[in-house]
Structure formats: C-alpha cells, structure tokens
Amino acid sequence: HAKDVGRNTYRFFTEQMNVNALERLLIQNRMRQALEQNQFTLHYQPQIDLADGRVVGVEALARWHHPESGMVPPDRFIPVAEESGLIVALGEWVLREACQQAARWRRAGLPPLKVAVNISAIQFQRGNLIETVMAALTASGLEPDALELELTESILIQNVERHLETVRELKAYGISIAIDDFGTGYSSLSYLRRFAVDKIKIDRSFIRDLSVDPESAAIVRAVIQMARSLQLGTLAEGVETQDQLDFLREAGCSGAQGYLHCRPLPADALAAFLTQDARFARHSGT
C-alpha cells in the first residue's frame, strides 16, 4: 500500500490486508482454470438509437459462472485479471467469441448489429492488437464494420504516436472506435481529433445523477454538444429511468444503453428479445 501511494510513507498491517491478498490469489488461480475449462460466457446488452428506438448494437460483457461458487461478479474478477495479466487471455477470448456470435446472428437472419468489445490498456500495449482483432474477424467471417472496439481515455494518452498508428490502422480496416467512460479520465479535445474516434460513451456516473445534480446535467449536455460539433456519436451508459431517457433525447444524445431497455442477456435470450421487439422486427423484414 505504501508503494502504491508513492513510497516515502508507511502503512500499518491489518488482517484485512491478508484476507484481501488471499482472495485475490484464489480468484487468480481459479481464473486460470476457468479459462482452460470454458467457464466464461458472454452476455450482450442492447444499444438503442434514440431517434427511433431501434436496437443498433450490443456490448459484449464477460460473465463467469464458477461450478462451486456460482456467478462471480465482474467487479471481483476484472480487477484481478488486470493486475495479474490474465486480462489479455480473457480479452482475446471475449473478442473471438463476440465476433463468432455476431456472425451466427447474421447467418440466422437477424439484421446487422454492431458488436462492441472492451479493450484493456494491457491488451492495447502488448503490441499485437491488430493481429488479434484481424484473426478474430477472419475466423468468424464477420465484416470489420460490424465490430466496435471500446477504449478508455487513459489508453490514448500514453505513447500517443504508437497508439495513434494502431488506431488509424484499425479504422482503415473499417473497425469503429469508441471512447468508454468518457468524462472520468483525461478528457481532451486534441486526442478526439487526432484519433478520429467514432463515438463517445458518457459514463454512467453522470447519467445516474442527472435528476439530482445540476453539474452532472450540465456536463452531459456539454459532452453531447461537443460531440455533435465534432460529428461524433454519443451513447449514454446506465440509463435506468424514463426521466433520464427524456433528458438525453432532449439534449440530442444519439444512443442509450441500460436497464431501462434491457439487462445484459445470454446470446439466445437476446435473439429472442430482438425478434419480439416490434421496432427491430420491422427493420429486419420479419
């Protein structure tokens, strides 16, 4: 803990530190087995076009069902995966499976959906992201324009020139780039312009407080107006109430994602949800 806060300080040992360390080690060891034994699955959360209410995309979200412990919450295993480096193997699996599933939906006759996949900073920095992405697309047969990669702001401000080259090459293939959790990190107009991103995802913390915090409302309006002036799409995360949705529509937000429309669903359940949605079925010709 003393090292984490910059050294030249001290921290007293507590038993809880030992408990936390053992828990992290246990999760890490179980994650290695989970990756080998295919215990992970993907759930997909719809992304809605606020202009007409259609589902235009889905975000792929990793879920872990341990045979003894049951469902392990993402906020328990994702941080451990990032600390241990297992996020690379997990991220590659998510990318492959999401592309395979999107291709299966298309072969089943569902209309085109863009599938969004989160890319961790460690994945991005390893240097083989393009090869990994192209291998997933080739193996699945999915067209590049059906894939959207979600990057955090922190990724783009480190080693800018190298990362700029990577993003430009990905976009040259037709892959979309979105900035995840916008507003919580190092928001900068300069990197939005240089990296020519396609979409900004407004962090759920701002959406949650829209009705009670005037500053959050002002920030959301400002982000949407800025994105429109740069001709970028905007998608609000964590939309849970009709009031939030009404605010976003009035402010000119492009899209929304959250429990108000649909919780993350397994692939089969999502396909059933889409075919039952009248607006989606109308655009699919069914």
Tens digits of residue pLDDT in 216-269: 999 999 999 999 998 999 999 999 999 999 999 999 999 999 999 999 999 999
Instruction: Give me the percent of the chain exceeding a pLDDT of 70.
Output: 87
**Would you place residue 153 in the very low, low, confident or very high pLDDT band (cuts 50, 70, 90)?**
confident
Q: Tell me the mean pLDDT in the region 72-96.
A: 92
**Residue 195: pLDDT above 90?**
no
The pTM of the full predicted model, rounded to 2 decimals, is: 0.86
- Residues with Cβ < 8 Å from 20, sequence gap 6 or more? none
Lowest mean pLDDT among 74-88, 153-167, 209-223, 258-272: 153-167
Q: What is the predicted pLDDT for the residue at 187? A: 57
Q: What is the predicted pLDDT for the residue at 125? A: 82
Q: Mind listing the pLDDT tens digit for each residue in 34-64?
A: 999 999 999 999 999 999 889 999 999 999 9
Phi, psi dihedral angles at 227 (to 5 degrees): -60, -40
**Residue 282: pLDDT above 50?**
no
Structure tokens at 210: 């829209």
What is the average pLDDT score of the chain?
A: 87
**Would you place residue 81 in the very low, low, confident or very high pLDDT band (cuts 50, 70, 90)?**
very high
What letter does residue 236 receive in the DSSP assignment?
A: E
Of 243, 175, 167, 245, the C-alpha closest to 212 is 243
Q: Tell me the mean pLDDT in the region 158-171.
A: 86
DSSP 240-267: -SHHHHHHHHHHT--EEESTTT---EEH
**Would you place residue 15 in the very low, low, confident or very high pLDDT band (cuts 50, 70, 90)?**
low
